[in-house]
A and B are shown apart, each in its own frame.
Chain A
Amino acid sequence: MSPSPTAVPAIELIGIDKKFGAVHANKTINLTVAKGSIHGIVGENGAGKSTLMSILYGFYHADAGSIRINGRDTVIHDSQAAISAGIGMVHQHFMLVENFSVLENVILGVEGGALLGRGVAEARSALKRLEADYGLDVDPDAIIEELPVGLQQRVEILKALYRGAEILILDEPTGVLTPAEADHLFKILGVLRDQGKTIVLITHKLREIMAITDSVSVMRRGEMVATRHTTETTVEELAELMVGRRVLLRVDKGPAAPSEVVLSVRNLTVKDGRGVTMVDNVSFDVRAGEVVGIAGVAGNGQSELLEAITGIRKPASGEILIHGQPVTGFDAAHLRSLGLGHIPEDRHHMGLVLNFEESENSVLGYHRDDRYGKGPMLDLDACRDDAKAKIEKYDIRPPNCRLKTANFSGGNQQKIVVAREIERDPALLVVGQPTRGVDIGAIEFIHRRLIAMRDAGKAVLLVSVELDEIRSLSDRILVMFAGHVVGEKTPDTGEQTLGLMMAGIAA
């Protein structure tokens, strides 16, 4: 269903297929984008959007399928070919040389001759023209690393335009921008479209899609599930398409019996590695015997919030208390000794050492404990016995504690983490994306365990981008948007209401 079927489309992707090892990133994707339009592609993290666009830009090679640009079959075997076909890309992680000037970055690859002199002069005047045409003003002699992120992104756009791009792909362009910067970007994109450029906007932020696109395609788990005219769809429909109607995993649970406050977060502000404020003055409590869920679209500060609470990232300001005791800035080992359990969002990089044996991972973070050896010694038998007990109790397969962790499936890897953190009987359990990349059976199992923790009088803080998960597990739901907690709701609140709050539209 092409938005304007009469004209020749700018882009046609036909049957694009791509696998990375066992991961099927793109499953026979078809996509048509009309010339002179802004086309959004939405989908959750890992839905395959970036891979698809990287194929269009020649950065990856599709295993199957073909590409037509302006109606002509085009083989894009590398970025150079994409550039010649008039395609420009603004990557999520900017492809800029940070200690170069704006000008040097713009001409990289299109220097206009073996010597720089002439090319630089030409680029300088060309930048002036682009600046005038599209309102893209940047000091050409500024050094990239000294520019704010919004301007760096503008340089990426300039790079593409300088190369004569007629089609511009932007991958999660607003992830690193302030709202004001994002608004400015949208204005620029509007101007570009009005001048006849075709724009593909990859995002998971539905508000942006509604604000500026002409049409939108939805991807889910490597598949293209729908394409709509933006005017003919709603945030609700898109959200539903993105997440998909899943088997609703209802968890049997009785009413919560919250008692004393275990975790208190007061005016917490957290910045990421680049110094961008990701959590802005957030306060909340979690009580013993309740699950507090934090809902939100990925990238709205939940990850940084979790990292600050669990001692992985030092907060910029504010206070964290456990059982009333200030613990701000404590390291993870110290926090564990105070009764904090942490199931991290990213089991591959944080929760597990994939090169280790299963039994070694089953003690990670608790390895200093006396039960795993007296004094400085590590008692491998104790670790293995402990691991075997957890394997049994959590039905981890294959039941072999000597197997390298990388050889377990995603669901079983997650069970290793869950078993480790829950079996320590923490007073406070902080959980991030507990079921990401986990099969249905394991999801159910993990959910039941979390509820059992609550029923045993533990405080549970749950962060998930799966709204279903949040709704079925939580006793209270906090919604995060752009670093703020924008509201608190009960779990029976409708999906639509929560979705709108997550999109920052209503409170």
Chain B
Amino acid sequence: MSTASVPLPNWITYGLMPFLNLLVAFLISGAVVWFIGESPLDAVTLLLQGALGNGEGIGFTLYYATNFIFTGLSVAVAYHAGLFNIGSEGQAYVGGLGAALASLALDHYVPWYVTMPFAVVGAAIFGAAWALIPAWLQAKRGSHIVITTIMFNFIGAALMVYLLVHVLIVPGKMAPETRVFLEGGQLPKLDWLIALFGGKIGAAPFNVSFLIALVMCVAVWALIWRTKFGYEIRTLGASPTAAVYAGIPYVKTVVITMLISGGLAGMMALNPVLGASARLQVEFVGGAGFVGIAVSLMGRSHPVGIVLAAILFGVLYQGGDALSFDMPKITRDMIVVIQGLVILFAGALEYLFRPAIVRVWQRFGKA
């Protein structure tokens, strides 16, 4: 008999197995470091020091984590409905347009806290809009949402480059980006939060978006587990036939879920665009949408798990930066390698150790 149907206790399924998977991913990452002639232990030390060793490092770590919380939530919401949204990347990119337009329109006239709600809504609406067509194609035409969201990532990229190069660019400048927002169009740094723990934020662009991300975590948690619509999302994801039985409308649920997912992805743009660079730039998303897949997977689609996984990836990003500074042989791309390995082992190979664990459990655990 196959081992797939043997039930295991939660601490193994949600604790031990992800831990083993992560461990293997990190061991292989260490092997890569060793292979290129550096000491894995030194690398880990440098990485952790860089990411968590001082206020600035923590600021950067949380800045990156903010991006991943948004995209992780985006992937998770869709995943609860059984939809695989790998278009968070493009939705975030287009969401940046909505956020930037709000800042460009308002920064001359009002303080940041007036601009912020408009930017949040703008980012969410533009991100949602970018998820609408794939959602509709899935709901009405049965086109695989994985494929259509990939396509829309690229269409979105082309659209944004066009707008930045031809429309939003500052006349006379070469760089394809908008003008720099005034203070009324920026999100302030959370230097006080770091200071509260006795650190100095330094150059880290850790900003109010982080708080918005935490609010969204609560909102997503409430949506999924405390609203009727969230109940319908989970029903559809867990059993499409039971959803029909319960009279849950498929098209409407798929479309709205994807709009929410796209909106969350869009909000990710607040962090780099309004919080860090104070302008809309080409390729500002930089793969955060795809990292969101890993974050959501590792976080088991739960906001608490997502925050933890996002911080882990934030540590990798910031620590990787520091590492590449101190160990020139290891470039920032090492982070991408670790990400790939984490996604491979924690995601695609998540059952790798299950048969072995089941055998051990059957022999020793049950007694």
Interface residues of A (CB under 8 A from B): 19-21, 310-312, 331-336, 342, 344, 346, 349-356, 360, 363-365, 367-368, 372-373, 376-378, 380
B212 at interface by CB-CB < 8 Å: no
A-B contact pairs, 23 of them (CB 8 A): A19-B1, A310-B245, A311-B247, A331-B247, A333-B246, A333-B247, A349-B241, A350-B241, A351-B242, A352-B242, A353-B242, A354-B239, A356-B238, A364-B242, A365-B247, A367-B231, A376-B227, A378-B225, A378-B226, A378-B227, A378-B231, A380-B225, A380-B226
**Chain A residues near B239 (CB, 8 Å)?**
349, 353-355
Q: A19-B1, A331-B249, A352-B242 are in contact. List 15 more A-B contacts (CB 8 A).
A: A311-B247, A332-B244, A342-B245, A349-B242, A350-B241, A350-B242, A353-B238, A353-B242, A364-B245, A365-B247, A367-B231, A373-B227, A376-B227, A376-B228, A380-B226
CB of B9 to closest CB in A, whole Å: 12
CA distance A244 to B80 in the complex (A): 45
> Given A21-B5, A350-B241, A356-B238, does the pair A332, B247 have CB atoms closer than 8 Å?
yes
Kindly report which residue of chain A lies nearest to residue B246, judged by CB atoms.
A365
Q: Is B231 a contact partner of A360 (Cβ separation < 8 A)? A: yes
Encode contact with A along B231-251: 1 for CB under 8 Å, 0 otherwise.
110110011011011111100
Task: Check B26 for interface membership: any CB of A closer than 8 A.
Answer: no
Give the CA-CA distance A368 to B253 in the complex, in Å.
Answer: 14
Specify which chain B residues have a CB less than 8 angstroms from the CB of A311 in the assembled complex: 247
| Smallest CB gap from B236: residue in A | A353
Whether B246 pairs with A377 at a CB distance below 8 angstroms is no
Known: A336-B247, A349-B242, A365-B246. A373 touches B228 (CB 8 A): yes
Counting CB contacts under 8 A, is B230 at the interface? yes
Instruction: Choose one: A342, A349, A364, A380; the contact of B235 (CB below 8 Å).
Output: A364
Let me know if B118 is at the binding interface, CB within 8 A. no
List A contacts of B249 (CB < 8 A).
331, 333
Q: Could you say which residues of chain B place their CB within 8 Å of the CB of A331?
A: 247, 249
Give bound CA distance, A19 to B2, whole Å.
Answer: 12
Nearest Cβ distance between residue B233 and chain A, in whole angstroms? Answer: 11
Chain B residues in 8 Å Cβ range of A363 = 231
Smallest CB gap from B248: residue in A:
A333
Chain A residues with Cβ under 8 A from B228's Cβ?
Answer: 367-368, 372-373, 376-378
Expressed in whole angstroms, the Cα–Cα distance for A363 and B235 within the complex equals 12
CB-CB under 8 A from A372, the residues of chain B are 228
In Å, the complex CA distance between A365 and B248 comes to 8
Contact A332–B232 (Cβ < 8 Å): no
Measured in the bound complex, the distance between the Cα atoms of B249 and A368 in whole Å is 13
Contacts of B5 in A (CB 8 A): 21
Note all chain B residues with C-beta closer than 8 A to A310. Answer: 245
Given known pairs A311-B247, A350-B245, A356-B238, the reply for A377 and B1 (CB within 8 Å) is no
CB of B221 closer than 8 Å to a CB of A? no
Q: How distant is the Cα of A354 from the Cα of B238 in the complex, in angstroms?
A: 8
Question: Chain B interface: which size bin?
Answer: 20 to 34
A351 to chain B: which residues have CB within 8 Å? Answer: 242, 245
Contact B241 A355 (CB under 8 A): no
Interface residue? B361 (CB, 8 A)? no
How far is B230's CA from A331's CA once the two chains are assembled, in angstroms? 20
CB distance from A78 to the nearest CB of B (A): 16
Q: Do B230 and A378 touch across chains, with their CB atoms under 8 A apart?
A: yes
Partner of B232, one of A336, A355, A367: A367
Residues of A within 8 A of B248 (CB): 333
B229: CB under 8 A from chain A? yes
Contact string, B95-133, partner A, CB cutoff 8 A, digits 1/0?
000000000000000000000000000000000000000
Which 5 pairs across A and B sit closest by C-beta, in order of nearness?
A: A333-B247, A332-B247, A365-B246, A350-B245, A349-B241
Contacts of B235 in A (CB 8 A): 353, 356, 364
Q: B238 contacts A332, CB within 8 Å?
A: no
On chain B, the residues within 8 Å of A367 by CB distance are: 228, 231-232, 246
Enumerate B184-230 residues with CB–CB distance to A below 8 Å.
225-230
CA distance A21 to B6 in the complex (A): 8
| B245: A residues at CB distance < 8 A | 310, 312, 332, 342, 344, 350-351, 364-365
A349–B229 CA distance with the chains assembled, in angstroms: 20
Min distance, Cβ B361 to any Cβ of chain A, angstroms: 16
A377→B242 contact, CB < 8 A: no
Chain B contacts for A356, CB-based, 8 A: 234-235, 238
Instruction: List, in ascending order, chain B residues with CB within 8 A of A21's CB.
Output: 1, 5
How far does the Cβ of A121 sit from chain B's closest Cβ, in whole Å?
38
Most B CB atoms within 10 A — which of A334, A335, A350, A352?
Answer: A350
Q: Which of B1, B227, B239, B245 counts the most chain A CB atoms within 10 A?
A: B245
From residue B304, how far is it (CB to closest CB) to chain A in Å?
17
Kindly identify which residue among B226, B241, B247 contacts A335, using a CB–CB cutoff of 8 Å.
B247
- Whole-angstrom distance between the alpha carbons of A333 and B195 in the complex? 54
Closest to A346 in B: B241
Cα–Cα, bound, A351→B238 (Å): 13
Residue of B nearest to A334 (CB): B247
A306 to chain B, nearest CB (A): 11
Docked complex Cα distance between A332 and B248 (Å): 8
Instruction: Give the Cβ gap from A340 to chain B, nearest Cβ, in Å.
Output: 10
A351 to B246, CA, bound (A): 8
Alpha-carbon separation in the docked complex, A331 to B243 (Å):
11
Expressed in whole angstroms, the minimum distance between the Cβ of B327 and any Cβ of chain A is 45
> What are the residues of chain B within 8 A of A333 when measuring CB–CB?
246-249
Find the residue from A312, A334, A365 having the highest chain B CB count within 10 A.
A365
Distance in angstroms from B252 CB to nearest chain A CB is: 11
A346 CA to B244 CA, complexed, in Å: 13
